[in-house]
């Protein structure tokens, strides 16, 4: 396959196993060696849950979004940058890649505004809930990332950013990855999750949707697209609408899927198209 610019989102249960991290790193190094430019954006939900629990900080979720206090944000930042990102850099360098650990804080790469959600009461009234240190991306300056990609490095970016006041903010990893894919105008935005793709009837393996277009997506929300798949599909949708050419959802616990797609043309998972 022709050398391409790849944005890979990596996180969740696909990254909790050290040997699996090593395999993912090896596959991405192979792709890099074949001429592809690669950037990885990662989350770390399972690690965040553990660190907040250890710090005796209770998480409150509003419409699936973790309300984040300054105390929780301190733990999240230490976990994502000081633990998860650092360990990924070690794994990627061990595989042969020239990995550079970053976050949205570096070079003021990603700027956010405080995220709010609308809550509709049973009587139909709507109120606004503030999520604290949760960021909605307002601006991305991708120059540093693009420079590293063009210079044979693999940027590994943790989804921590800042607001205009300089406060660290927690950003949903799917939102971060989709926005970064659009900012660098990626040829492929690949979301590595812990399932084999988008299912019409989960978990029936025969019901995986191999390809779906943008105009088919709206009718699927709340039915086929549910739970944790909602922010993933929304980020894919936004990336496509902002110039990303191809979007794939693959199983990150099966690294061979990623290698086979680019080296053997074997298509797995779900492809989203214009």
Residues 221/230, Cβ–Cβ less than 8 Å: yes
Tokens of 25: 């790193």
Q: CA 40, CA 22: separation in Å to the nearest integer?
A: 14
Structurally, the chain folds into a number of domains equal to 1
pTM confidence score: 0.94
pLDDT at 73: 97
* Residue 2, both tokens: 């022709």
What string of pLDDT tens digits covers the 274 residues of the chain?
788 999 999 987 788 889 999 999 999 999 999 999 999 999 998 999 999 999 999 988 887 778 999 999 999 999 999 999 999 999 999 999 999 999 999 999 999 999 998 888 888 889 999 999 999 999 999 999 999 999 999 999 999 999 999 999 999 999 999 999 999 999 999 999 989 999 999 999 999 999 999 999 999 988 899 878 888 999 999 999 999 999 999 999 999 999 999 998 899 999 999 8
Within the chain, residue ranges assigned H as helices are 18-33, 45-54, 70-77, 86-95, 143-150, 173-183, 229-241, 256-263
Confidence at residue 124, expressed as pLDDT on a 0 to 100 scale: 83
Query: According to the model, what pLDDT value does residue 258 have?
Result: 95
What's the rounded Cα separation, in Å, for the pair 260 and 250? 11
Of 79, 31, 101, 61, the residue nearest 260 (C-alpha): 31
Degrees to nearest 5, angle at CA 254 with 252 and 256: 115
CATH number at residue 33: 3.40.1160.10
- Domain around 21: 5-273
**d(C-alpha 269, C-alpha 274), whole Å:** 17
């Amino acid at each position: 396959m022709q050398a391409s610019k790849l944005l890979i989102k990596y996180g969740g249960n696909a990254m909790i196993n050290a040997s699996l991290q090593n395999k993912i790193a090896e596959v991405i190094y192979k792709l890099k060696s074949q001429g592809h430019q690669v950037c990885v954006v990662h989350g770390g939900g399972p690690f965040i849950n553990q660190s907040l629990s250890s710090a005796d900080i209770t998480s409150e979720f509003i419409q699936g979004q973790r309300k984040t206090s300054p105390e929780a944000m301190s733990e999240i930042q230490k976990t994502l940058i000081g633990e998860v990102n650092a360990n990924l850099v070690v794994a990627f360098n061990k595989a042969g890649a020239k990995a550079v650990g970053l976050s949205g804080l570096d070079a003021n790469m990603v700027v956010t505004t405080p995220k709010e959600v609308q809550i509709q009461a049973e009587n139909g009234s709507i109120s606004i809930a503030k999520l604290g240190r949760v960021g909605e991306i307002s601006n991305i300056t991708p120059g540093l990332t693009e420079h590293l990609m063009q210079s044979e490095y693999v940027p590994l970016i943790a989804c921590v950013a800042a607001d205009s006041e300089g406060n660290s903010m927690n950003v949903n990893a799917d939102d971060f990855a989709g926005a970064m894919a659009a900012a660098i105008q990626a040829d492929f935005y690949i979301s590595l999750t812990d399932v084999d793709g988008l299912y019409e009837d989960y978990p029936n393996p025969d019901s995986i949707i191999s390809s779906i277009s943008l105009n088919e997506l709206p009718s699927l929300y709340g039915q086929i697209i549910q739970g944790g798949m909602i922010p993933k599909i929304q980020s894919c949708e936004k990336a496509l609408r902002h110039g990303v050419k191809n979007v794939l959802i693959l199983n990150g616990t099966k690294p061979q899927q990623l290698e086979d797609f680019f080296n053997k043309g074997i298509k797995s998972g779900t492809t989203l198209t214009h």
